[in-house]
Amino acid sequence: MNILVTGGSGFIGRNIVKMLKEEGNTVGTYDIRDKNSVSDYHIMSDVRNLKMLEKACSGIDYVFHLAAVTSPPEFENLTGEGYEVNVMGTYNVLAASAKNNVKRVIIASSSSVYGDIREAARESMIPETYLNLYPLSKRIGEVTAALFNNFKLETVTLRYFSTYGMGENSKGESSSVIWKFIESIRNGKKPVIYGDGTQSRDFIYVKDAARASILAMKNGKAGDVYNVGTGVSTDFNRIFEIIKGEMNYEGTVEYVPTPIKNYRQFTQADLSHTKDHLNFIPEFDLLTGIRETIKALTEK
């Protein structure tokens, strides 16, 4: 099959590309960055360029849309660029796909659309308002994708929770706390935790996130939304203790005030809908995923 991955030079994108190639597909990437994957070809362009997307989608069977501005703090300055990329970029990908009779588009959304809820999030648990433009931009993308099913374009939306693993260096300051802890210790620096470390996240290893994405291409109901997580939430203090033990780190962690507005205290995915319809069950528990990440970083 011929498959296009927007954001294919990014963290999750390049892992999806690798798995798709292993299945024997012809895979192209579309990204504003240089080629950074094993794709067959690369188009260096912006998803705000509709005409280029229309050309890129010609002859394509499936599209994975991961190109986005993904850091919530980047939306605090209200410049509008991130919002434009996420909202208009998603529309452009959908419009270009519909014009070229693409079979299905898999849309990357985020657990941030759930807001600051303190329980396992089910797909129907959407708040009425948001305190940041980032989750709003992702939610608009979801609704737009669902609408395109009325125009004979199948879409499936995935709400990724806190994805971590090898390749996070492409995310910079948006990298997971797992990546940041490991890198700090490797570089002889004291790891930093915002607040008191009791905040917790549903951490999913990137290989599992990529596998769930490919299952969404094959399974699931058109127009539907699925959580991509593990169903387990782990606090940052526990994450530090695990990494400390695995890396034989004898130092301490530095606690600092949270510099991020509207910082979320808790995330956890309810995976029942995902398991039932995508046939997805995570293969990597937290300890195994952290060990794989440490091994990959220390051996590179």
Beta carbons of 19 and 2 less than 8 angstroms apart = no
* 79-101: average pLDDT: 95
Write out pLDDT tens, residues 126-155. 999 998 899 999 999 999 999 999 999 999
Instruction: In whole angstroms, give the CA distance from residue 142 to residue 144.
Output: 5
User: Is the confidence at residue 177, as pLDDT, over 70?
Assistant: yes
Please give the share of the chain, as a percent, with pLDDT higher than 90: 86
| Cα–Cα distance list, 179 to 70, 74, 92 (Å) | 16, 20, 32
Handedness of CA 143, 223, 103, 106 (dihedral sign): positive
> 2-162+204-229+269-278, what's its fold?
Rossmann fold (3.40.50)
**What ranges do the domains of the chain cover?**
2-162+204-229+269-278, 164-200+233-267+285-299
pLDDT-derived band at 80 (thresholds 50, 70, 90) equals confident
What pLDDT, in 10s, does the model give residues 235-264? 999 999 999 999 999 999 999 998 888 889
Q: With beta carbons less than 8 A apart as the criterion, state whether 27 and 40 touch.
A: yes
Interval 7-63: pLDDT, tens: 999 999 999 999 999 999 999 999 999 998 899 999 999 999 999 999 999 999 999
- Which of 47, 157, 170 has its CA nearest to residue 109? 157
The pair of structure tokens assigned to 267 is: 């995330």
Please determine whether the domains at 2-162+204-229+269-278 and 164-200+233-267+285-299 fall in the same fold group of CATH: no
Predicted confidence (pLDDT) per residue in 207-238, tens digit: 999 999 999 999 999 999 999 999 999 999 99
Q: Which phi and psi (to 5°) does residue 76 adopt?
A: -75, -25
* pLDDT > 70: percent of the chain: 97
243 φ, ψ to 5°? -65, -40
CA atoms within 13 A on the CB side of 130: 18
Give the span between the Cα atoms of 78 and 132, in whole angstroms.
Answer: 10
pLDDT interval class at 170 (50, 70, 90): low
Angle at 161 between CA 263 and CA 41, to 5 degrees: 120
For 148-169, the pLDDT digits (tens) are 999 999 999 999 999 999 888 7
What integer is the mean pLDDT of 66-86? 83
Whether CATH 3.90.25.10 fits 164-200+233-267+285-299 = yes
Q: Are 15 and 207 in contact (CB under 8 A)?
A: yes
